[in-house]
Structure 1
Amino acid sequence: MNSVYQRIIGALQTNAIPKVRAIHIMKEGLDSNPNAKFGAIELDDGTIGLTYTKLGGALKVLQDDSLYQQFLGQPVTELAKLYLEPAPWQQVLGSGALNAISQKLLRERGFEYSKAEDTLALLKLTAGDRVGMVGFFPPLIDSLKEQGIPVTVIELKAELARAEENLLVTTDPQALTYCNKILITGTTVINHTLNTLLPLVKDADEVALIGPSVGLLPEVLFELGVTSVGGRVILDGETFLKRWQGGEKWKSSALRYSLHNSQYQ
């Protein structure tokens, strides 16, 4: 059984399992609304866990809400079980449930989120570094190239592979072994590819996992070998959902945060 799933479910008190109040999936403006790529699992206490919906055609499948209506009013652990299933739409909903559970537990602990550092600051860059990226982050690549820091990007589409000055785009994940600073998109947690990537970067100095869907208990990710996380926490669920539905920026309804393993206890 998946270790991420086991650790998060194991952290719940079995006599206080929250229920699912709502599953928010965008149904209109799927191509025009920038927020359509995110969905939200809302618990009965108002806690919200985010997930990324445009993974393997999941958003199109999730337009059929009969697939998940039965989970409303049920313990969130039932929804979380979908994370273990093979279909992308199931993993999308299951990971959102695990994020919601994690955010509830962190709030109960009184955890204080620190405002996010610049993404590249998480890598603690120095001269001589080579950055490996799983996920294409154009602004970050441009910044690294300006600093003269070479970048290796792992890409799924072979037609995008190329090599130019200080930039290698390749379909071969083994290329990460030549990089000492690593940046990984949070979608790798959803589709279960993070566990296959981390052995390739076990000798890296820094491994940062970033994205709005990175809302899991930090210690679970740190135990796997991630050194820092950058995610989002929803501070005001009602305002967030209005902004999300309207395609607006989330502003003060959410906080972009980052955390290094050296800061976490």
Structure 2
Amino acid sequence: MIEFLREELEGEIPNITVEDVRVGLVYTGVVTSTGHGGVAYTPIHEFTDCPVLGEAGEIAGMPISDVMEMVLSPNLVKAAVGVATLNALSQLAFEVHPERYRFSSVDVLELIRSGDRVSMVGYFGPLIPRVLRRTGEVFVFEKRAIRDERVRFASPSEMPVVLRSSDVILISGSTLVNKTVYEILRFSGSAREVVLLGPTASITPQPLFELGATAVMGVRITDPRLMLRV
């Protein structure tokens, strides 16, 4: 993902810095010196203690080429900053090379057919009632302790078997932060649709397509500086 964006924005990246960054309880936001914004999920439920970001107070003004490397960090706060940065750069890439990207207004529900087995990696609560109106077989993989008797929660050990037998797989963009997306995509098997979904998935899709994703559905931030306001 990093190398793809480096090549896609080869002439721009050396001149770009981080203008501002905020780490929130739910989302982390980054605005670049080009005026583009990106967000990423802050995975607070995966922290066993209070996380520390050693670069706190120093990221604004840093070269974007350094900050985008944070996506590789085992520190998930740092990784969230890195993913938000890649998402911001992706917005720039969409503008610089519009001929390379095809956008669609298709709703994810339009990809689900009657009788499909749907697997969700991440609990998409608001989507579940609408998905169940199309099919009655929904599996959910979720690290948080959530109760919802309408769906079947599966254990991590079941993931290879369940995903390989699914027709549609919906994957939370937060898997980009905790780096599980790559393993999950390896289990996608013969699924008709493999969709990376959510604000954290607002990223250049080609590297994910090469790994088996069929669609990437994120958001476009129209006012990045307003996005950072608390």
Normalised to the residue count of structure 1, the TM-score between the two structures is 0.74
Deviates more, 1:110-119 or 1:223-232: 110-119
% of aligned pairs identical?
27
**Structure 2 residue aligned with 1:44, among 33, 36, 39?**
33
Spell out structure 1 runs of 4+ moving beyond 6 A. Answer: none
The answer to whether the Cα contact below 8 Å between 1:53 and 1:59 also exists between their aligned partners in 2 is: no
Query: Given the alignment of the two structures, is residue 57 of structure 1 paired with residue 47 of structure 2, yes or no?
Result: yes
What's the counterpart of residue 178 of structure 1? 165
Which AA in structure 2 matches 1:224? L
Give the length in aligned residue pairs.
224
Could you tell me how far apart the structure 1 residues matched to 2:191 and 2:50 are? 37
Query: Given the alignment of the two structures, is residue 5 of structure 1 paired with residue 14 of structure 2, yes or no?
Result: no
Q: CA deviation at 1:154?
A: 1.4
Query: Given the alignment of the two structures, is residue 109 of structure 1 paired with residue 97 of structure 2, yes or no?
Result: yes
Query: Given the alignment of the two structures, is residue 96 of structure 1 paired with residue 84 of structure 2, yes or no?
Result: yes
Q: Deviations over 1:133-187 (max 9, x none)?
A: 1011223222233334311111335x7689x7x7321112122122111111000
Deviates more, 1:190-199 or 1:166-175: 166-175
The answer to whether the Cα contact below 8 Å between 1:8 and 1:220 also exists between their aligned partners in 2 is: no
What's the counterpart of residue 213 of structure 2? 226
The answer to whether the Cα contact below 8 Å between 1:129 and 1:180 also exists between their aligned partners in 2 is: yes
Q: Secondary structure at the residue paired with 2:139? A: strand
Which AA in structure 1 matches 2:109? L
Q: How does 1:72-83 map to 2 (within 5 A)?
A: 72-83=60-71
Q: Deviations over 1:44-99 (max 9, x none)?
A: 1211111111342399536x6x6233332221110111111111112111111111
Could you tell me how far apart the structure 2 residues matched to 1:118 and 1:195 are? 24
The answer to whether the Cα contact below 8 Å between 1:98 and 1:216 also exists between their aligned partners in 2 is: yes
Which AA in structure 2 matches 1:144? V
Which AA in structure 1 matches 2:88? A
**Structure 2 residue aligned with 1:149, among 109, 112, 136?**
136
What's the counterpart of residue 183 of structure 2? 196
Could you tell me how far apart the structure 2 residues matched to 1:215 and 1:59 are? 29
Query: Given the alignment of the two structures, is residue 208 of structure 1 paired with residue 192 of structure 2, yes or no?
Result: no
What's the counterpart of residue 69 of structure 1? 57
Which stretches in structure 2 are left out of the alignment for 5+ residues?
none
The answer to whether the Cα contact below 8 Å between 2:87 and 2:202 also exists between their aligned partners in 1 is: yes
Which stretches in structure 1 are left out of the alignment for 5+ residues?
27-35, 246-265
Q: Secondary structure at the residue paired with 2:94? A: helix
